[in-house]
Amino acid sequence: MTKLSRFLGYFCALLLAVQVSVVLWGVLTRYAFSNQAGWTEELARYLLIWISLLGSAYAVSTRSHIAITLFPDSLEEAKVNRLNRFIDVLVLIFAVAVMIIGGGYYVWLTFSLGQTAPALGLPVGIVYLAVPLAGLFITFFQLKDILHGRP
């Protein structure tokens, strides 16, 4: 596991701890004070987006993402290696085309339109920045695996 992968894992854990705290605060204010803090639901939703996307990049880095192995298990080792290389290239293309380019455009669009979150007042582009950022991480990890082989 690389230092970048380890950092990503710890960062996701930190975001999850913050999300749990925010949700607990929302529940406490709802039931103890009969008036939920309005920002808690929105922040928990945005943290879930960041955790999901960066968590997927972490899963790519550790090769712990979900996979269907029925077909590869029936192949010879040389064919499995070619299939894995093909899948790595497909994931790389998706990360670059959809996550980096498409996500980057969407971030630019939300910033240029000046969209802000209703309860928090922060620019929505910050929330969507998780898409191209996760795409960059996935691209890095996929290129590393393609060039240097899978761990």
What is the residue range of 14's domain? 3-148
Specify the pTM: 0.91
Produce one character per residue of 8-41: b if its CB has 16 or more CB atoms within 10 Å, e if not: bbeebeebeeebeebbebbeeeeeeeeeeeebbe
Number of domains in the chain: 1
Burial class (CB in 10 A: 0-12, 13-18, 19+), 117: middle
Say what the pLDDT of residue 151 is: 63
Residues with Cβ within 8 Å of residue 130, at least 6 apart in sequence: 49, 50, 53, 54
- Helix (H, G, I), strand (E, B), or coil: what is residue 119? coil
Tens place of pLDDT for every residue, the chain, 151 residues? 789 999 999 999 999 999 999 999 999 999 898 888 889 999 999 999 999 999 999 999 998 887 777 778 888 988 988 988 999 999 999 999 999 999 999 999 999 999 999 999 999 999 999 999 999 999 999 999 999 887 6
Q: What is the DSSP letter of 74?
A: T
Tokens 């899963």 sit at which residue? 59
